[in-house]
């Protein structure tokens, strides 16, 4: 009580001033229609501005859930396309049996761990064998190459990233169809190197690099990057620097792609090697 009295005595002039200001403001707004309308409009404007900022903040905080839902819907659509399309057909038609004509199966997952600053980088996702994930399944960010699953537990999987010295991928120039081997040199996470492209081939900066049909992991035509620099390697082949489409520092959701015919293909090929 004594502290309260001391506070009132110390700031009595300010308190009296604020009270008088409040009374004057009340008389001004209630005794004059013009001032009343202006103040009401100002208050409404401030209120709308605050509500808009609160709404924007809520929308921003919900982006993670929105992205996850979109990734799941995208995987469902990709599965539907695979089931409805038949090889050699330029149109879609309904398929009633389980996997007729379907070679790839898609599911979405969220990245829960990722590295880009090591020589051998890996990615951890929040789905595992309980959700149907298996080693040697491909990872994309929806359109472009991210990596390949190498190990699974019940609810988690680890994938080798494209940014790994041990990762090797069959890749081709979209413009000419010539293919080579794409690897990462351990330097810049924005660039990889495409080798084994003959020097008699016309290669231009900006040419698109994509996956070939020779992989039993990745579907054909998945984006990798664009040609950034072309050098003579001292042999009969170019050394091509490829600017990657995927920004590995921002990967949050991935599509996991399983080749339903992988085992059949590898088993047949093994008989003739």
Give the domains, in start order, of the chain with CATH numbers. Answer: 2-61 (no CATH), 64-270 (2.40.10.340)
What is the mean pLDDT of each successive set of 10 residues along the chain, which is 273 residues long?
A: 69 76 69 62 68 64 63 67 51 40 85 94 95 94 94 96 96 94 96 94 94 92 96 87 95 92 90 86
* Tokens 């809520």 sit on residue: 58
Distance CA 245, CA 146 (A): 10
Can you give the pTM of this predicted structure?
Answer: 0.66
Beta bridge partners of 182: 169, 194
Q: What is the pLDDT of residues 29-62, one digit of tens each?
A: 666 665 566 666 676 677 667 666 766 665 555 5
Q: Which of 133, 156, 136, 157 is nearest to 148 (CA)?
A: 136
What tokens appear for 186 in the block? 């351990």
Q: What is the pLDDT of residues 239-272, one digit of tens each?
A: 999 999 999 999 999 999 999 899 998 899 889 8
What tokens appear for 64 in the block? 């993670």
In 41-190, DSSP assigns E strands to: 104-114, 120-125, 138-140, 145-152, 157-164, 169-173, 179-183
Distance CA 160, CA 165 (A): 10
What are 202-207's contacts with CB under 8 Å, separation 24+?
202/176, 203/173, 203/176, 203/227, 203/230, 203/238, 203/240, 204/175, 205/229, 205/230, 207/173, 207/174, 207/175
């Amino acid at each position: 009580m004594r502290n309260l009295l001391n506070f009132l005595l110390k700031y009595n002039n300010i308190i009296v001033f604020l009270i008088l200001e409040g009374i004057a403001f009340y008389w001004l707004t209630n005794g004059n229609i013009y001032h009343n309308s202006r103040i009401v409009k100002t208050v409404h404007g401030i209120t709308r501005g605050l509500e808009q900022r609160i709404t924007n903040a809520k929308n921003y905080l919900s982006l993670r859930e929105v992205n996850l839902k979109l990734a799941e819907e995208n995987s469902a659509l990709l599965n539907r396309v695979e089931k409805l399309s038949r090889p050699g057909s330029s149109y879609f038609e309904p398929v009633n049996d389980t996997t007729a004509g379907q070679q790839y199966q898609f599911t979405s997952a969220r990245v829960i761990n990722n590295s880009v600053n090591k020589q051998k980088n890996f990615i951890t996702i929040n789905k595992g064998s309980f959700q149907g994930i298996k080693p040697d399944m491909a990872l994309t960010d929806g359109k472009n190459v991210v990596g390949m699953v190498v190990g699974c537990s019940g609810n988690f999987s680890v994938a080798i990233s494209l940014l790994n010295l041990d990762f090797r991928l069959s890749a081709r120039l979209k413009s000419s169809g010539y293919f080579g081997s794409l690897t990462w040199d351990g330097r810049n996470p924005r660039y990889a190197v495409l080798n084994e492209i003959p020097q008699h081939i016309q290669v231009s900066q900006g040419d698109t690099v994509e996956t070939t049909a020779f992989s039993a992991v990745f579907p054909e035509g998945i984006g990798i990057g664009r040609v950034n620099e072309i050098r003579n390697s001292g042999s009969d082949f170019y050394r091509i620097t490829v600017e990657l489409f995927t920004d590995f520092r921002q990967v949050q959701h991935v599509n996991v792609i399983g080749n339903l015919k992988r085992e059949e293909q590898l088993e047949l090929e093994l008989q003739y090697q």
